[in-house]
Amino acid sequence: MTVESVPREVDFTRQVRVDRLSTLWKVTIAGAGLLIWLALIMSALQQSVVLDVLLPIGVVVIGCVATGMFLRRGRYETAVWAYAGSILLALVILMMPPATATSTVRRDLIPFILPILILLVGLLLPARATVIMLALSVAVVIFAPNIGRGVLVEPHQGFAILLCITAAGLAFQTSGEIFGIAEWALSSYNKERQIKEALFDTQEEVKRSYVRQKTLADQLKQVNTDLEAAKAAAIEAKNFRGQFLANMSHELRTPLNAIIGFSETMLNFPMMYNNQSLPDAYRADLNQIFTSGKHLLQLINDILDLSKVDAGRLDIEIEPIDLDTVLKGVLSTALGLVGDKRVQLRRDTPQQLPQVMGDPLRARQVILNLMSNAAKFTDEGEIVLGARDNGDGNVLLWIKDTGIGIAPQDLGKIWEEFRQGSAGRQKGRAGSGLGLAISRQLLNLMGGKIWVESELGKGSTFFFTLPIHQPEKVEAQQG
């Protein structure tokens, strides 16, 4: 059921009264019919009964028919007055002095019917009507029996008036209660209706959110499907790129090794050529061929490493590493990298460093990458290679330089493959843009992390961690 089908305002009191009145007039008419029938039977015995009774009953019948008519037209108040008025008139007729001396009606009893009528009106109409009815009844009790005789109030009339007043009081009291009950019923009904409306609104809201949620879920499903497709395409492209780079690097390395090998032999081993010494004019160019060849090989090795990482085929041998030995080796190599620049190389490590876990060759490769960057981007000042136990199960290593630094907007980019910072793109500092990308991947594989802090024009510090070797842990894992 929808709330709209519930009528907005319902007057319960009126509804109850209309029902009551429609029963009343029907019962009255039935009673009147019965009385007429009785009167007709009795009329066979006594003619005065017909005259005394038929007229008032006729009045009541007409009043009841009018009541029914007014009720059908929705004129409730007029209907009540038609009903009460007809009865009152009938009583007046009954109370009037008899036309014949043989009248059989006990006229002194009729006024005592009036309290019932007052009570009825009190129950059917608001208090104002009860007062009017009381006034009419009192007037009827006083005047009707005395028509043509002057006013004379007998004791039974006084008693009837007293009863009328009591009936009016009772009517006030009872209809007050009825009003109270009706009010209570109405307010309960209104409360229930509000709750129903609120529930209906909530239900509608729930329905709407369900539809919204369903649409969103459908969209999400579509996005997920698209994402899956895009991911599959990306993985395929990555694998293809990895495969291509691996093949190409391999193909390039073979001739390149020949170039490097022969140029080195020609430079350093004249005995291979019957001790014929190389003309000086050739030596410089051949040296250039040898250095460029090595540089190219390094580049190709880096590409190969990256492609292996991409394809998940880079083999890493994790074992305990003695950092002291590695750092010493790297520092002596770095001396050659700095060359004759006014840059001091310094080591900042404690006496004892714990062993770390990793691939010694790859760990060395990472430190050398960072050291060679520091050497490349620093023209004067110092380069510090530091390490300490970080107290969280890792050794923290850092390479700090006083070089050109990295612009804030480049700090995120430099980790991407083939990307270089804007400050470093100068002659003599050109690189492949692969060193940091590889270092990060290698550290990932060894369970470490890498990050940088840098200020343009002041220098950079690259930090990275390697997990400390914990023999108990390894044993526990093996056990």
Q: Which is nearer to ligand ADP, 114 or 306 (CB)?
A: 306
Among 28, 86, 365, 460, binds ligand ADP (CB under 6 A): 460
Instruction: Output the six-digit token pair for 179.
Output: 């009003």
Q: Which is nearer to ligand ADP, 243 or 422 (CB)?
A: 422
DSSP of 260-292:
HHHHHHHHH-GGGGTTPPPPHHHHHHHHHHHHH
- Under the criterion CB under 6 A, does residue 145 sit at the interface with ligand ADP? no
Q: Which is nearer to ligand ADP, 228 or 453 (CB)?
A: 453
Ramachandran area for residue 178 (φ above 0: left; ψ -120 to 50: alpha; else beta): alpha
Among 91, 121, 436, 466, binds ligand ADP (CB under 6 A): 436
CB 266 within 8 A of CB 278: yes
What is the edge-to-edge ordering of all strands in the sheet holding 394-401?
Answer: 342-348, 380-389, 394-401, 459-467, 450-455
- Under the criterion CB under 6 A, does residue 435 sit at the interface with ligand ADP? yes
Residue of this chain nearest to ligand ADP (CB atom): 431
CB 48 within 8 A of CB 103: yes
Alpha-carbon distance of 314 to 309, in angstroms, equals 5
Alpha-carbon distance of 433 to 404, in angstroms, equals 17
- Under the criterion CB under 6 A, does residue 424 sit at the interface with ligand ADP? yes
Among 420, 441, 443, 469, binds ligand ADP (CB under 6 A): 420
Burial per residue of 206-235, b for 16 or more beta-carbon CB atoms within 10 angstroms, e otherwise:
eeeeeeeeeeeeeeeeeeeeeeeeeeeeee
CB of 437 to ligand ADP, least distance (A): 6
Contact segment (CB under 6 A) with ligand ADP among 52-60, 172-180, 306-314, 420-428 equals: 420-428
Among 431, 448, 464, 465, binds ligand ADP (CB under 6 A): 431
Half-sphere exposure of 355 (CA within 13 A, CB side): 12
Q: Which is nearer to ligand ADP, 321 or 404 (CB)?
A: 404
Q: Which is nearer to ligand ADP, 52 or 401 (CB)?
A: 401
Contacting residues for 105 by C-beta, under 8 A, at least 6 apart: 52, 53, 94, 98
Contact segment (CB under 6 A) with ligand ADP among 36-44, 129-137, 248-256, 431-439 equals: 431-439
Contact segment (CB under 6 A) with ligand ADP among 145-153, 203-211, 212-220, 428-436 equals: 428-436
Among 85, 115, 293, 421, binds ligand ADP (CB under 6 A): 421
Interface with ligand ADP: number of residues (CB under 6 A): 21
CB of 467 to ligand ADP, least distance (A): 24
> Which uninterrupted H or E stretch holds 470?
none
**Which residues 355-414 are close enough to bind ligand ADP by CB under 6 A?**
369, 373-374, 377, 401, 403-406, 414
Alpha-carbon distance of 43 to 22, in angstroms, equals 31
Contacting residues for 140 by C-beta, under 8 A, at least 6 apart: 88, 91, 92, 95, 111, 114
CB of 413 to ligand ADP, least distance (A): 8
Q: Which is nearer to ligand ADP, 63 or 435 (CB)?
A: 435
Site string for ligand ADP, 313-352 (x = CB under 6 A): ----------------------------------------
Q: Which is nearer to ligand ADP, 305 or 401 (CB)?
A: 401
Q: What is the DSSP letter of 97?
A: P
> Angle at the Cα of 154 (from 151 to 158), degrees rounded to 5?
100
CB of 403 to ligand ADP, least distance (A): 5
Alpha-carbon distance of 105 to 447, in angstroms, equals 121
CB of 438 to ligand ADP, least distance (A): 8
Where do contacts with ligand ADP occur on this chain (CB under 6 A)? 369, 373-374, 377, 401, 403-406, 414, 420-421, 424, 431-437, 460
